[in-house]
Amino acid sequence: MAIKFQYNKTSLTEMGKQLKVRQRALPTLQNKESALRLEVRKAKTDSERLIAQLEEALQRYDYLAALWNEFDPGLIAITDVDLYTKKVAGVKTPALGEIHYEIKPFNAFVKPAWYADGVAILKELSRLGIESEVYLEKARILDYQRKKTTQKVNLYEKVQIPGYQEAIRKIKRYMEDEENLSKASSKIVKNRHAEEEEASEQV
């Protein structure tokens, strides 16, 4: 990205302001980037932990596999999932609130005794599955923001800050050259004037 500037004091002041803005913002952006990197790792770890717990729970209830054929799948349904927004390193991310279930009434005397346990097991399994998905989504959002922040850090660090520094150097060098030329030309004019005066006195 070429930085546009003019060889004058106004442009020099503007370049200086832009450089300061970026130099002040860079440490904050770098901190945000490392915080987001850490949070992405945490969210992915949490999701993996919940998936492992889900698989573990499925194995734990494997002995009930034959009984599940007797279970009425329409007995329990998820009606709603409460999600709320939680800010992590300045980024809005989803967090799981309450999971709402609709449990159809059943006659405990007619149905098998383990039906109540079956409902509790399904609640636990669905919570683990939903929560792991929420953490995956959180990791995705945070990772997207981390990439954007990394791009901005690179833009400031590798392109804009050196670009503004180079522009300031060029303007200063140009202005110094102009000043030196001006001094030199005024010296020449002065000397010529002095020579002319000397010559006119001798006549």
pLDDT above 70 as % of the chain: 93
Which domains, ranges and CATH numbers included, belong to the chain? 9-192 (1.10.287.3240)
- 4 vs 2: CA distance, rounded Å: 6
pLDDT over 80 (residue 203):
no
- Among the listed ranges 79-88, 139-148, 181-190, which one has the minimum average pLDDT value? 181-190
Q: What is the pLDDT of residues 88-135, one digit of tens each?
A: 888 999 999 999 999 888 776 677 677 778 888 889 989 999 999 999
Tell me what pLDDT residue 3 has: 83
Separate counts of helices (H) and strands (E) for the chain: 4, 2
Inter-CA distances, 67 with 38, 58, 106, Å: 44, 14, 17
Element (H, E) at 103: strand 91-103
- Eight-state DSSP code of residue 62: G
Cβ contact 58:82 at 8 Å: no
Compute the distance between CA of residue 159 and CA of residue 57 in angstroms, rounded to an integer. 52
Q: What is the pLDDT of residues 42-66, one digit of tens each?
A: 999 999 999 999 999 888 887 777 7
pLDDT at residue 1 in the model = 59
17-26 pLDDT per residue, tens: 999 999 999 9
Q: What does the block give as tokens for 22?
A: 């970026």
Those residues whose C-beta lies under 8 Å from the C-beta of residue 152, and which sit 6 or more positions away, are 29
User: What pTM was estimated for this model as a whole?
Assistant: 0.75
pLDDT recorded at residue 28:
94
Q: What is the pLDDT of residue 73?
A: 73
pLDDT at 70 over 80: no
